[in-house]
């Protein structure tokens, strides 16, 4: 964190000067580390207007400037393949940040420069932050920073953001560039044949538009749908010219013009990379060996199982312990509260109606979520999650998702909330939705409590396992149905396999805190309101009415006691509450006295499938809109009820349990 706030406004007595800076770059280049180091705790994450893409923004004070930093999504090109790409190019072209920092991974210069060249075509005030210089050196790559700067005609600042190196220089460069107030650099030129064609298109573009003409010309040749529609609406005669030129390029190079332009860019990137970088023998280290082992066709899976198992084991134990501690603190507080204030209507309302909602969030959700976010952050920063995605790719394809989709599913076992938030790693809206849908069916810690506490304890461990297997089968089938039903083409896996690296403690903690903060701000109010709503409904006697209305479903169809109707409604708040409430309504914790084994199995099944909890619904609504959240919730309720009844009859007819 660079912060000289005391200097703000003191320079020559003028007002604070404001700058807007955007960060752009590939994934895995340490862009978010740069962002976190620059803005520290002064940041907020929202969505791009009307999009499900995260927009992280933060501020810092530096040498008399207040600098607003916008972190653009990590992408590899500026086409319209993903929402992220669209958001980024619109931002750069339309909002004109004072400086655009292209964070570049020094150890993978070629691919990064491919993106740099595309950025330059948009003619921004570009600065290259040449990051991970330390990692590159370990790989035996030495880069001539001066030369790189000359080749591209942009300032280049060497950095190692994880170690907080080079960030001050980067900001100084931003200010220098701003004060110099020169024209943006020219974009690099390609081979002579393609340049002639580009020039021809540029001459044909008569209208003025926010995007640079050269960029429009290149995009038209590449066949970018969005730009085509835009340009052809302004000058329809352009369409025939472009078609003609495209076929000329194709005839000349033997590939379609989009491939030709991509090749030209890569040739350029490759040429620059080879002139500025010298390669020596890399340092040998054990990480290389670990990399091979963790993606090995046999050992890789064994290691993954061990890692995932120990992760869950630790999280559950940690969560269980702290959940217990926090619950007893709350119980103590509750006791002294009623001791001090008495148990009148208002006092009861305050505690049961308002504070209990907070209690649920703090003592049930947080103890599991904090270690979850923390371990996830570490696994992500080290580069292990990419291996998991690699290993699980072929299985995940069966439900129409690729390997990366396994990560949210895995998270779902702890809590569906981070799982649904984690779906943003998928590339397209379609993939994200399928992924969130199946994630919301994963038995989270709360559901596991019901399954374990009821079925495993009273019916038998093998029946608990059967429930899990049933759930996995359902996830598989529903995933497949969603995959067939939703329009669009499934997306294959393609990603960089990052080398392992040590995560920075500061960045990991910061990231965990931000995830936690957004969880608290989003989920807590809903938990409190939900709790209040049910409390009021209960005191007004609506709940017993509901119980009666639900009787046909609960008693006749599912074969459960009538009290389960109310219990299942409360369960929307927290699923483990179903068990706790059932005990308190029935007046015993010995469930064998009140439920038959079949009823237990069916009850646990319904709890497992019917609507995700209120916090998950809230996240779904936020990420995908309230309509999608409602559809998912409703589908799951119908599914739970229909299948629960069938299951109940099936078990009774065959007398299995």
Cβ atoms 142, 53 nearer than 8 A: no
Taking CB under 8 A as the criterion, the residue among 241, 259, 347, 539 binding other proteins is: 259
- Kindly state the smallest distance separating residue 394's Cβ from other proteins, in Å: 4
- Kindly state the smallest distance separating residue 76's Cβ from other proteins, in Å: 4
Q: Residue 223, interface with other proteins (CB under 8 A)?
A: yes
Taking CB under 8 A as the criterion, the residue among 114, 211, 570, 591 binding other proteins is: 114
CA-wise closest residue to 180 among 79, 73, 99: 99
Q: Which stretch binds other proteins (CB under 8 A): 58-66, 228-236, 258-266, 507-515?
A: 258-266
Taking CB under 8 A as the criterion, the residue among 120, 386, 445, 459 binding other proteins is: 386
Q: Which stretch binds other proteins (CB under 8 A): 310-318, 390-398, 465-473, 604-612?
A: 390-398
Q: How far apart are CA 112 and CA 104, in angstroms?
A: 6
Taking CB under 8 A as the criterion, the residue among 255, 289, 517, 548 binding other proteins is: 255
- Beta-carbon neighbour count of residue 418 at 10 Å? 23
3-state secondary structure of 102: strand
For 72, the token pair is 């653009």
- Kindly state the smallest distance separating residue 79's Cβ from other proteins, in Å: 6
> Given the complex with other proteins, which of 170 and 410 has the nearer CB atom?
410
Taking CB under 8 A as the criterion, the residue among 111, 214, 246, 268 binding other proteins is: 111
Cβ atoms 145, 130 nearer than 8 A: yes
Q: x/- binding map, residues 144-183, to other proteins, per CB under 8 A? A: ----------------------------------------
Q: How far apart are CA 115 and CA 100, in angstroms?
A: 13
Q: Residue 382, interface with other proteins (CB under 8 A)?
A: no
> Given the complex with other proteins, which of 391 and 609 has the nearer CB atom?
391
Q: How far apart are CA 224 and CA 390, in angstroms?
A: 30
CA-wise closest residue to 128 among 283, 281, 276: 276
> Given the complex with other proteins, which of 77 and 241 has the nearer CB atom?
77
Q: How far apart are CA 223 and CA 640, in angstroms?
A: 47
Q: Residue 27, interface with other proteins (CB under 8 A)?
A: no
Q: Give the dihedral sign, CA 280/284/285/290.
A: positive
CA-wise closest residue to 499 among 83, 134, 125: 134
Q: How far apart are CA 621 and CA 132, in angstroms?
A: 38
Taking CB under 8 A as the criterion, the residue among 20, 59, 63, 77 binding other proteins is: 77
> Given the complex with other proteins, which of 81 and 557 has the nearer CB atom?
81
Taking CB under 8 A as the criterion, the residue among 43, 79, 257, 440 binding other proteins is: 79
Q: Which stretch binds other proteins (CB under 8 A): 45-53, 109-117, 121-129, 171-179?
A: 109-117
Q: How far apart are CA 530 and CA 356, in angstroms?
A: 11
> What's phi and psi for 46, nearest 5 deg?
-135, -160
Contact set for other proteins, span 477-496 (CB under 8 A): 489, 491-496
3-state secondary structure of 105: strand
- Name 17's bridge partners: 65
Q: Which stretch binds other proteins (CB under 8 A): 7-15, 110-118, 236-244, 567-575?
A: 110-118
Q: Residue 393, interface with other proteins (CB under 8 A)?
A: yes
> Given the complex with other proteins, which of 172 and 291 has the nearer CB atom?
291
Q: Which stretch binds other proteins (CB under 8 A): 259-267, 414-422, 434-442, 562-570?
A: 259-267
Pairing between β-strand 99-105 and β-strand 141-143 as defined by DSSP bridges = unpaired
For other proteins (CB under 8 A), the number of binding residues is 38
Q: Residue 20, interface with other proteins (CB under 8 A)?
A: no
Q: How far apart are CA 394 and CA 21, in angstroms?
A: 40
Q: Residue 121, interface with other proteins (CB under 8 A)?
A: no
Q: Residue 390, interface with other proteins (CB under 8 A)?
A: yes
- Kindly state the smallest distance separating residue 104's Cβ from other proteins, in Å: 13
Q: Which stretch binds other proteins (CB under 8 A): 126-134, 235-243, 393-401, 641-649?
A: 393-401
> Given the complex with other proteins, which of 33 and 269 has the nearer CB atom?
269
Q: How far apart are CA 607 and CA 575, in angstroms?
A: 7
Q: Which stretch binds other proteins (CB under 8 A): 51-59, 251-259, 320-328, 459-467?
A: 251-259
CA-wise closest residue to 537 among 509, 586, 570, 582: 570
Three-state SS string over 606-651 comes to HHHHCCCCHHHHHHHHHHHCHHHHHHHHHHHHHHHHHHHHHHHHHH
Burial of 94 (0-12, 13-18, 19+ CB in 10 A): exposed
Q: Which stretch binds other proteins (CB under 8 A): 182-190, 382-390, 413-421, 579-587?
A: 382-390
Q: At what angle do helices 257-276 and 213-222 cross, to 10 degrees?
A: 120
Taking CB under 8 A as the criterion, the residue among 389, 407, 426, 475 binding other proteins is: 389
- Beta-carbon neighbour count of residue 123 at 10 Å? 21
Contact set for other proteins, span 534-573 (CB under 8 A): none
Binding site for other proteins (CB under 8 A): 76-77, 79, 81, 107-108, 110-111, 114, 223, 255, 258-259, 262-263, 266, 270, 295-297, 386, 389-391, 393-394, 397, 402-403, 489, 491-497, 499
């Amino acid at each position: 964190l660079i912060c000289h706030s005391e200097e703000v406004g003191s320079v020559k007595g003028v007002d604070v000067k404001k700058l807007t800076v955007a960060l752009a770059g590939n994934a895995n280049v340490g862009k978010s580390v740069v962002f976190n180091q620059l803005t520290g705790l002064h940041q907020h994450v929202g969505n791009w207007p009307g999009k499900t893409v995260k927009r992280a923004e933060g501020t810092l004070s530096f040498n008399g400037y207040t600098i607003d930093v916008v972190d653009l999504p990590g992408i590899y090109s500026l086409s319209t393949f993903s929402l992220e790409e669209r958001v980024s190019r619109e931002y750069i072209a339309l909002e004109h940040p004072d400086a655009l920092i292209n964070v570049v991974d020094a150890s993978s210069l070629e691919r990064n420069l491919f993106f740099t060249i595309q950025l330059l075509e948009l003619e921004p005030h570009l600065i290259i932050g040449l990051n991970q210089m330390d990692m590159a050196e370990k790989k035996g790559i030495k880069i001539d920073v001066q030369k790189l700067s000359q080749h591209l005609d942009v300032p280049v600042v060497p950095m190692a953001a994880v170690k907080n190196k080079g960030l001050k220089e980067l900001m100084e460069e931003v200010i220098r560039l701003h004060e110099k107030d020169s024209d943006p650099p020219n974009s690099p030129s390609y081979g002579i044949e393609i340049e002639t064609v580009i020039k021809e298109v540029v001459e044909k573009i008569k209208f003025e538009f926010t995007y640079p003409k050269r960029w429009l010309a290149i995009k038209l040749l590449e066949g970018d749908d969005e730009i085509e529609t835009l340009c052809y609406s302004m000058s329809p005669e352009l369409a025939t010219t472009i078609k003609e030129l495209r076929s000329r390029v194709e005839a000349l190079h033997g590939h379609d013009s989009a491939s030709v332009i991509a090749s030209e860019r890569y040739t350029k990137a490759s040429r620059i990379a080879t002139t500025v970088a010298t390669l020596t023998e890399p340092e040998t280290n054990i990480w290389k060996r670990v990399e091979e082992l963790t993606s090995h066709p046999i050992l890789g899976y064994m290691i993954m199982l061990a890692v995932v198992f120990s992760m869950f084991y630790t999280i559950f134990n940690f969560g269980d312990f702290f959940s217990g501690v926090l619950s007893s603190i709350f119980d103590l507080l509750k006791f002294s509260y009623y001791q001090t204030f008495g148990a009148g209507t208002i006092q009861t309302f305050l505690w049961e109606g308002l504070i209990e909602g907070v209690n649920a969030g703090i003592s049930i959700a947080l103890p599991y979520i904090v270690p979850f976010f923390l371990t996830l952050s570490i696994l992500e920063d080290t580069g292990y999650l990419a291996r998991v995605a690699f290993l699980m790719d072929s299985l995940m394809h069966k439900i129409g998702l690729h390997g990366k989709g396994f990560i949210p599913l895995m998270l779902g076992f702890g809590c569906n909330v981070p799982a649904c938030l984690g779906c943003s790693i998928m590339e397209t809206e379609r993939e994200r939705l399928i992924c969130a849908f199946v994630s919301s069916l994963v038995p989270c810690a709360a559901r596991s409590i019901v399954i374990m506490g009821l079925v495993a304890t009273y019916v038998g461990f093998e029946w608990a396992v059967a429930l899990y297997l049933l759930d996995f089968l359902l996830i598989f089938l529903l995933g497949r149905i969603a995959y067939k039903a939703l329009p669009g083409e499934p997306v294959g896996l393609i990603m960089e396999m990052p080398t392992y690296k040590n995560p920075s403690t500061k960045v990991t903690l910061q990231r965990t805190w931000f995830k936690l903060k957004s969880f608290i701000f989003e989920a807590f109010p809903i938990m409190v309101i939900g709790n209040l709503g049910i409390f009021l409904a209960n005191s007004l006697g609506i709940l017993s009415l509901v119980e009666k209305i639900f009787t046909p479903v609960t008693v006749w169809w599912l074969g459960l006691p009538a009290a389960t109707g109310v219990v299942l409604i409360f369960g929307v708040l927290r699923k483990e509450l179903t068990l706790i409430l059932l005990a308190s309504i029935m007046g015993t914790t010995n469930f064998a006295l009140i439920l038959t084994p079949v009823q237990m199995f069916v009850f646990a099944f319904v709890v497992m499938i019917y609507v995700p909890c209120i916090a998950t619904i809230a996240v779904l609504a936020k990420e995908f809109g309230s309509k999608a959240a409602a559809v998912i919730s409703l589908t799951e309720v119908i599914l739970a009820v229909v299948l629960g009844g069938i299951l109940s009859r099936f078990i009774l007819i065959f007398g299995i349990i």
